[in-house]
Structure formats: C-alpha cells, structure tokens
C-alpha cells in the first residue's frame, strides 16, 4: 500500500517536471533557432562573390550544427534533471509517508493485541452460557446471539490484523483438488437451494499458498451464497479461480469499494463488511490479483 503511495507521489513529481521541461526547452530551442535563421545572409546585405557564397554556406552549416548541439544538450539536460528529480522525489516521498506508515503499523499492532485480549473473555462468556443450560429464555438467547456475532467480528479483525502483519509468504506444494473438495463439501448444506455448477481443472500438486487459497475460496463462496438468486458457478484452472452468482448487480459506484474495510453493498445484510477485505489482503500479500466484475452476473476472479 505504501509502495503504491510512494510511487504515485514520484510519478506526479516526474509528470509535472516533464511538462515544465518540455515546454521550457521547446521555447528555448524555437527562440534560439529562429533568431539565427532570421539574421540576414551575406548575399542579402550585398556581397555576392564566390568567397562570400562559400562563407555563407559555411555559416549555414555551423548554424545547423549549433542547432543540433543545442537539441542534444537540451535532451541530455532534461534526462539528467528527470533522474535528479526522481531520486529527490523518492527520498522526499519516503520521508513524507514515514509518519503515516508508523501510525498505520501501530494501529495494526493495537488491533491484533486488542482482538487477542478480547478473545479470551468472549470465549469465557460463551462457555458460561452453555454451562448455564438455560433454555427458552429470550434474554439469555439474545446474549448468546450477540456474543456469537461479537466473536465472529473479533475473529475477522484478528485475521485481518495478522494478515497485515505477515507480508512475506513462501509458496509450497499444495493439493488444490483436495482443498477444493473439502471446502465444497463444507458448503453443501447451504447449496441445496441453488444450482451449483462447477468446472475444476487443476493439478494435484501446485506451488502456491494453500492455506490462503482455501480461506479466500471460503470467503468468496460465502459471499456468492449470500447474494445469489438461483445459480452459482465455480471455474478453476491452473492459475485462476472464478466464482460467479446471478444475484443483484453491483453498481458502478459500489464496485470500486467492495474490497474496502467495513464497506457493505447491501446495508441490511449480515456481517460488518470485512470478509472481502480479508480476501483482498490475503491475495495482495501473495502477489495474487483479486478482482470483481458485475455485468449480467457478479464474478470474483482470483489469479494466483
């Protein structure tokens, strides 16, 4: 994220510098060459001997050579200035985003630590509610329900924080067929009311991060089931996973924000809008590309 911000700042500086250099150097070149061309020749002054004509030819050659040298000088100077601006911009961009980066890292640590600390009392509350064995009490049922929601939210925050903190991932040999089979079986009870079409063509052993792939698949399948009407399609090949559904189309304004944290297209849906952002974070740390299209159907594509 911060690399993209730094590179964006550098590109903006280089773009502005390039425009200024092109305009200013063009004006310098045009003014210099026109000034030389507008000077009267020896013959126009009144001298027309053979020596004068040879001298005039020599002068024209010198003017052309000077114009070429000026052009080369301007180009080399422009490249040198651009390189200098790039180096200076890199340093200044790094210094500018350093406080933001430090603050962001502190927030990630806080969320991770806080979520970890909250996890213990939530587990104790859930255990005590089960041990109490009080049935048909709406107040206790409400407490149990809200505790379950809070536990889910806390787990998502903890997952997101851990994902942000761990950036270096080493791919290993993973059996994607086995992972997909296990995941699909876990979703079968929720797929009874929809038409589930699948096409899986992957090798048994693939060099990739199987754990992150499995979690992203789970998030995307859960999302497809929540928002589908009648059809869910799964397509997996050697390096791409596509999960689509025939639910409501995502608007143009919303589609740019579906991976934002706490963003929900449907404000009345369950959850808090962290699932897709977790999937995006997992994809980014593996240098995978997770994208979404919503035309006649909504399709999430993971290129791994």
pLDDT digits (tens, 9 = 90+) for 88-115: 988 888 888 888 877 777 777 777 777 7
| Pairing label, strands 240-245, 231-236 | antiparallel
Min mean pLDDT across 8-12, 85-89, 178-182, 201-205 is at 201-205
Extract long-range pairs of 123-126: CB within 8 Å, 24+ residues apart.
123/151, 126/151
Mean pLDDT of 268-285: 81
Mean pLDDT of 114-122: 79
Question: Which carries the bigger pLDDT value, residue 171 or residue 196?
Answer: 196
CB 96 within 8 A of CB 10: no
In which residue ranges of the chain is CATH 3.30.565.10 found?
A: 172-303
The yes-or-no verdict on residue 46 having pLDDT over 70 is no
HSE toward the beta carbon, residue 208, CA cutoff 13 A: 27
CATH architecture label of 172-303: 2-Layer Sandwich (3.30)
Give the chain's mean pLDDT: 83
Min mean pLDDT across 44-48, 99-103, 255-259 is at 44-48
Tokens of 162: 């851990």
Tokens of 68: 């070429």
> Of 263, 276, 179, 154, nearest to 223 (Cα)?
276
pLDDT classification of 139: cutoffs 50, 70, 90 = confident
Min mean pLDDT across 9-13, 76-80, 149-153, 194-198 is at 149-153
HSE toward the beta carbon, residue 301, CA cutoff 13 A: 11
Query: Which pLDDT does position 217 carry in this prediction?
Result: 94
Helix axes 138-165, 275-285, angle to 10 degrees: 20
Mean pLDDT of 251-259: 85
Beta strands in the chain (DSSP E): 172-174, 195-200, 206-208, 231-236, 240-245, 289-294, 298-303
Q: Measure the CA–CA gap between 173 and 205, rounded to whole angstroms.
A: 6
pLDDT digits (tens, 9 = 90+) for 189-230: 889 888 999 999 888 788 888 888 998 999 999 989 988 888
Query: Which pLDDT does position 302 carry in this prediction?
Result: 95
Q: How far apart are the first and last CA of the chain?
A: 19
């Amino acid at each position: 994220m911060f690399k993209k911000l730094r590179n964006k700042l550098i590109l903006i500086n280089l773009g502005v510098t390039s425009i200024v250099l092109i305009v200013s150097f063009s004006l310098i070149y045009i003014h210099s060459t026109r000034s030389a061309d507008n000077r009267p020749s020896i013959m126009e002054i009144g001298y027309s001997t053979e020596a004068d004509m040879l001298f005039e030819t020599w002068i024209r050659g010198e003017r052309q050579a000077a114009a070429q040298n000026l052009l080369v000088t301007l180009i080399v100077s422009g490249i040198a200035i651009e390189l200098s601006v790039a180096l200076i911009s890199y340093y200044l961009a790094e210094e500018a985003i350093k406080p933001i980066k430090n603050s962001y890292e502190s927030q990630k640590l806080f969320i991770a630590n806080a979520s970890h600390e909250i996890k213990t009392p939530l587990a104790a509350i859930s255990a005590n509610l089960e041990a109490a064995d009080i049935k048909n009490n709406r107040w206790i049922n409400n407490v149990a329900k809200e505790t379950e929601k809070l536990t889910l939210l806390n787990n998502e925050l903890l997952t997101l924080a851990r994902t942000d903190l761990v950036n270096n991932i080493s791919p290993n040999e993973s059996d994607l067929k086995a992972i997909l089979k296990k995941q699909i079986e876990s979703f079968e009870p929720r797929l009874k009311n929809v038409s589930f079409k699948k096409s899986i063509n992957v090798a048994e052993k693939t060099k990739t991060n199987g754990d992150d792939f499995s979690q992203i698949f789970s998030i995307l399948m859960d999302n497809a089931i929540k928002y589908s009407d009648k059809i869910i399609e799964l397509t997996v090949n050697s390096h791409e996973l596509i999960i689509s559904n025939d639910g409501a189309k995502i608007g143009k304004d919303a589609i740019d924000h579906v991976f934002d944290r706490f963003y929900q297209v449907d404000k009345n849906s369950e959850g808090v809008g962290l699932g897709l952002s977790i999937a995006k974070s997992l994809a980014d740390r593996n240098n995978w590309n997770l994208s979404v299209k919503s035309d006649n159907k909504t399709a999430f594509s993971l290129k791994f």
